[in-house]
Amino acid sequence: MEMSGRKPEPTRYAHLVRSVSRLAEESPFWERVLEELKRSRRRRRVVNVEKLNRVTKPNERVLVLGKLLGTGKLRHPLTVIAFDFSETSYRKVMEAGGKPMYLDQFITSGGGKPDVSGIRLIG
């Protein structure tokens, strides 16, 4: 299972910040996401798969405000949107029957204005 993603690149990151900045003008949800994106890499949040088990229900949609790491086991399917994934966490979300998505993929999949109703912020 390949991660269909890529390592963060400065140009990809700058594009992501611009995209979220436009969305933040219209929604407090995206303002919060932008606030986290603007943190330095060193201060960004990390969340382990195990935490998702404790705080989510099956088939929920969550946005991880940082990088998802692979410690623990995911016991139910989720749609997980994150700034970044470790290879292990990406694989574990897939194995649990969930759908991992990078934040930039999520934004473009919604035609530039994705539906955020029902998404929980985790971080």
Structure-block tokens of residue 67: 């990088």
Count of domains for the chain:
1
pLDDT over 90 for what percent of the chain?
70
Residue 95 structural domain: 10-122
Query: Is residue 5's pLDDT more than 70?
Result: no
| pTM confidence score | 0.87
Q: Is 2 domain-assigned?
A: no
Q: Is 65 domain-assigned?
A: yes
Query: Is residue 4's pLDDT more than 60?
Result: no
Q: Is 20 domain-assigned?
A: yes
Q: Is 35 domain-assigned?
A: yes
The enclosing domain of 71 has a CATH number of: 3.100.10.10
The pLDDT mean for the chain works out to 89
C-alpha pair distances (Å), 2 with each of 43, 69, 74: 28, 16, 18
Q: Is 4 domain-assigned?
A: no
Q: Is 22 domain-assigned?
A: yes
Task: Name the nearest CA neighbour of 2 among 67, 94, 70, 65.
Answer: 94
Q: How confident is the model over 42-65, as pLDDT tens digits?
A: 888 899 999 999 999 999 999 999
Spatial separation of the C-alpha atoms in residues 96 and 75, rounded to whole Å: 6
